[in-house]
Chains A and B, each alone.
Chain A
Amino acid sequence: MDTSDLIPRLEEAVPGAVLEVRPFGRGGEISVWVEAKSIQKVAQAIRKDVDFSFDWLENLSVMEVDKALVLTYFLRSQEKGHTLYLRVSIVPDSPEAPVEMLSVVKTWPMAKLPELEASDLFGIRFVGNPVPGSSSGRFILPRGWVGYPLRKSYVFPTEFLNIPHTRPTGHTEPDDYGVVT
């Protein structure tokens, strides 16, 4: 049974959730773009499917494409050996603003830490993540950090904890790489 056989079942289980099916990489695998608001239902449906049972979230990656944040869920079924890539795009109100997304921790408990990482670095608030303060706190970055560093609109800080984030000034001649600091 091929992964593309999953698509009609998915459309039956969650009507209107599948937006697009595209090839992913060179291995002949497919990526399925789904609606952001129905990600939890889609996750449950492909987890419970008897022939596929995607029970293993390998990775959760985020990238910024134009104004949208694209989340990719790398899925694998341990018993059947299938691979699937779920893709979701969400658009924040402004380039610096945080954005909300539904958590898939109930379906795949291993999503807990990747979601925290994404919320820290990209400003995606995962609703339903069980870690206390996961909608507002900092996990990888120190407390009091401002901004989401992997957004393209992010500007490097000039100082943090009174430690300046600059080189000592006073060099007027360019160094070996042509950089004047």
Chain B
Amino acid sequence: MKSGGFHLSTIDKVLSWARSSSLWYVTTGGGCCADEILAAMGPRYDLERFGCVQQIDPRQADLLIVTGLISYKAATHLRALYDQMPAPKYVMCLGSCATGGGPFAPEFSYGVVPGADRIVPVDIYVPGCPARPEAIMNGLITLQEKIRGHQRSHPQA
């Protein structure tokens, strides 16, 4: 390069590989999807083999997993949780409630936010009510592929 700049292509590849291989996550811990995360953490599914470790502190987390419904009172707290995380950060919406309000919003409840994407930018949605551990694993692997820049299961037309 003439201006003395440099490319980061190889380093970027290494960095994204490293980031995708150690997705430490923090969860909001609401709803029944939180139990499914516990099941996914357990010995049968063992989320840790993908490099996913649960964190309590959002400042040490790369991934925010939103589970359960979000009320309008909790919306500001969810945003604060997201703002505390260091970049690069990713958000996963787990289950119907976090994705679109589930069976509550907006027709049947006045206080439930219809989807976490109204509050934080969402990278990946995992459907299910609640989502099974296999679905959570599939979502995590898809997110890893997204971070690495690959397309695993959806070839481009």
| Distance between Cα atoms of A4 and B148 in the complex (Å) | 76
Within 8 Å by CB of A156, from B75, B100, B110, B118, lies B110
Residue A154 interfacial (CB < 8 Å): yes
Residue B58 interfacial (CB < 8 Å): no
Q: Which chain B residue lies CB-closest to A156?
A: B110
| Distance between Cα atoms of A150 and B119 in the complex (Å) | 26
Query: Which A residues are CB-close (under 8 A) to B42?
Result: none
Asked, given contacts A141-B111, A166-B114, whether A161 binds B106 with beta carbons under 8 Å apart, the answer is: no
Q: Is the interface of B mostly helix, strand, loop or mixed?
A: loop
Query: Which A residues are CB-close (under 8 A) to B113?
Result: 163, 165
* Interface size of B in residues (CB-CB distance below 8 Å): 14
Q: How many A-B pairs fall under 8 Å by CB?
A: 33
Q: Is the interface of A mostly helix, strand, loop or mixed?
A: loop
| Distance between Cα atoms of A156 and B113 in the complex (Å) | 12
* Interface size of A in residues (CB-CB distance below 8 Å): 15
**Distance in Å: Cβ of A116 to nearest Cβ of chain B:** 15
**B110:A163 contact, CB within 8 angstroms:** no
**B111:A149 contact, CB within 8 angstroms:** yes
Residue A8 interfacial (CB < 8 Å): no
22 A-B residue pairs with CB within 8 Å? A141-B73, A141-B111, A142-B72, A142-B73, A149-B110, A149-B111, A154-B110, A156-B106, A156-B110, A157-B110, A161-B72, A161-B75, A161-B76, A163-B72, A163-B113, A163-B119, A164-B114, A164-B118, A165-B106, A165-B110, A165-B114, A179-B107
